[in-house]
Every structure is written in C-alpha cells, then in structure tokens.
C-alpha cells in the first residue's frame, strides 16, 4: 500500500475506535444483557432471534443516551481526569458526527422495540432515553436527586425485556425494576465516593448528605442496600423462578449489605472502591441465577 492509503486506513481505524468509545461499550453491554434477561425470564421457550433483537435494542438505546450525555458534558469532561480523553473533548469526533451516530442508534432501537416487539416496550425505551439524556445529565450538577433520576431509566432494561415478551405490565416486571432500581444507589454512590475529587472539578453533586464522605453518607447507602435483601426473594414468591435462585439472591444481597457495614466502620475511599466492585458483581450473578433456576 502507498503511504496515502496507510494514512487513510489508520484514520479510519481511529474513527472506528472513537465511535466505539462513544458508546461506553461495557455499560451498553450490561444494559443489553439486562434486557435479554428480562425477556428470557418472561418467555416459556427461548427464541434466540428475539433475544438478539432485544439485546440490540438495549445496546443501541443506551449508546444513544450515552452520546447525549457526552455531548452535553463536553466542557465538563475536559475538567476531569477520568473523562478528558473521551472522543469529544479530544476532538477525535465532532459534535455533528456524534449527533448523527446518536440519531441512528435511537432510530434503530426504536424500530426494534416498536415494530419487532410492542408499543409499551418502545415507549419505555423512549422514556428511558430522555430521562437519562435530558433529566439525569443536567441534574448531576444540582444534587443527589440526579441519582434518583438516573436510577429510573437505569432500572428499565429488565422491565423492557419482560414487557417486550408479554406486552403487559404487572408485579413481575415491577420487581425486576425494583431490584435494579435499589441496586443503583449503592452502585452510583460508591462510584461518586471514589471519583469525588474528579466530580468536584466538574461541579457534580451526586453524594447524599451535602456530598460528605462520612458515616452519614455510608448509613444512607446502607439503607438503600437493605431493600435488595427482601426484593431478591420476591421473584420466587411470584413464581417467576425457583427457590435456589431466591436463596442466591438473598445471600448476594446480604453480602452486598455487609460491604456497607464495612464502609460505615471505615468510611474510606478503599472501602467505597470495594463496594463499587461488589456492585459490579452483584447484579449479573443474581440475574444469571434467576435464569439458571428457570432453565
């Protein structure tokens, strides 16, 4: 190849990498899994074509919401060490390029949910997109109310999966929503605790109790985490899954809760970091246990 062709190839590869980073791939993948989990838990037999579609819808809608978040926070991302190398602050992608990508992802996800599944699932997807991109994002500089606002769209994926499969709301999708909803408070606040110095540079106010990393905040985190213990047993009571996964979910909830006790005894960044990793482990283990028990 000529040197010009080399440059074109390298430039193309760098663009692809930038678009990949814009998606926040791991977060979008987690949402895709949660949506597929909700769908799989609701059906009597697994249709891998439908599971692929609901996963893609979740991945695309989350990617689109992430892009809105990054477009609105370009100048703020430049201030924080953890975000200053993202595609938009570094200029590797323009706002227009990001916006076009966002629209494509949003249209694709909406088409899948509305056309391939049903109106209710599509409506939930659209609501989650707007709540995350246009409500949660600006509230991050207002106060910890942003965590509540972000927890709502963050808890929608398994509910969307269930509604996509059944076309109705009820206690079953409600408990899937509740588990993921309460999980997000210790998850978000553990991240906010660890990243507090960086967040302060951008004016983000996500920690409760006036943003102090102290016992009061640790107690607040503990209170929200308590709800995961009884919630983990409810799917069994609703005949959604078996007793084995219920015991796994309760045990994981107790272990996760114990991390909050450790944070209360030692309100340090290290304890918060351990809790953050605990939050990453809790949700997939519980969801996989529910699926395995049903199978």
| Single pTM value for the model | 0.92
Spatial separation of the C-alpha atoms in residues 166 and 8, rounded to whole Å: 48
pLDDT at position 13: 86
Distance CA 156, CA 38 (A): 10
Indicate whether 153 and 293 sit together in one domain. no
Number of domains in the chain: 2
pLDDT at 2 over 60: no
Q: Which residues of 181-212 are buried (b: 16+ CB within 10 A; e: fewer)?
A: bbbbbbbbbbbbbbbbebbeebebbbbbeebe
160-208 residue pLDDT tens: 999 999 999 999 999 999 999 999 999 999 999 999 999 999 999 999 9
CATH code, domain carrying 4: 1.10.357.140
- 97, with CB counted inside 10 A (0-12, 13-18, 19+), is middle
Are 73 and 85 within one domain? Answer: yes
The 10s digit of each residue's pLDDT in 220-243 is: 999 999 999 999 999 999 999 999
Mean pLDDT of 3-7: 66
* pLDDT at residue 6 in the model: 61
Task: Give the domain-ending residue among 136, 152, 169.
Answer: 169
Does residue 29 register a pLDDT over 50?
yes
Q: What is the pLDDT of residue 67?
A: 96
Q: How far apart are CA 132 and CA 128, in angstroms?
A: 6
pLDDT-based confidence at residue 1 (cuts at 50, 70, 90)? very low
CA atoms within 13 A on the CB side of 134: 6
Q: What's the domain range around 245?
A: 172-295
Let me know whether 164 and 122 are in one domain.
yes
Q: Which pLDDT tens digit goes with each residue over 120-162? A: 999 999 999 999 999 999 999 999 999 999 999 999 999 999 9
The per-residue pLDDT of the chain, averaged, comes to 94
The answer to whether residues 138 and 206 belong to one domain is no
Residues 75 and 220 in one domain: no
Alpha carbon separation from 172 to 41, 44, 96, 159, 242 (Å, rounded): 10, 15, 41, 8, 14
Q: Count CA atoms within 13 Å of residue 17 on its CB side.
A: 9
| Residue 102: pLDDT over 50 | yes
Do 125 and 185 fall into the same domain? no
The reply to whether 5 and 147 lie within a common domain is yes
């Amino acid at each position: 190849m000529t040197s010009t062709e080399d440059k074109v190839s390298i430039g193309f590869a760098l663009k692809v990498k930038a678009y990949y980073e814009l998606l926040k791939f791991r977060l979008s993948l987690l949402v895709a899994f949660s949506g597929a989990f909700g769908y799989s838990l609701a059906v009597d037999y697994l249709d891998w074509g439908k599971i692929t579609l609901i996963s893609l819808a979740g991945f695309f809608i989350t990617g689109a919401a992430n892009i809105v978040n990054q477009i609105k926070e370009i100048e703020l991302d430049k201030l924080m060490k953890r975000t200053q190398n993202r595609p938009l602050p570094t200029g590797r992608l323009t706002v227009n390029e990001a916006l076009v990508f966002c629209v494509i992802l949003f249209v694709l996800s909406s088409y899948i949910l509305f056309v391939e599944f049903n109106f209710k699932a599509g409506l939930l997807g659209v609501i989650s997109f707007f709540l995350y991109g246009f409500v949660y994002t600006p509230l991050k500089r207002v106060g910890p109310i942003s965590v509540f606002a972000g927890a709502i769209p963050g808890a929608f994926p398994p509910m969307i999966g269930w509604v996509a499969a059944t076309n109705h709301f009820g206690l079953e999708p409600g408990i899937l929503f509740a588990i993921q909803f309460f999980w997000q408070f210790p998850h978000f606040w553990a991240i906010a605790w660890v990243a507090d110095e960086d967040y302060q540079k951008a004016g983000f106010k996500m920690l409760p109790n006036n943003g102090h990393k102290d016992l009061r905040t640790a107690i607040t985190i503990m209170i929200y985490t308590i709800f995961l213990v009884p919630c983990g047993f409810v799917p069994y009571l609703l005949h959604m899954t078996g007793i084995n996964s219920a015991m796994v979910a309760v045990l994981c909830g107790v272990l996760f809760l114990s991390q909050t006790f450790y944070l209360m005894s030692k309100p340090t960044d290290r304890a918060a970091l351990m809790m953050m990793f605990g939050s990453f482990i809790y949700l997939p283990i519980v969801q996989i246990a529910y699926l395995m028990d049903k199978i």
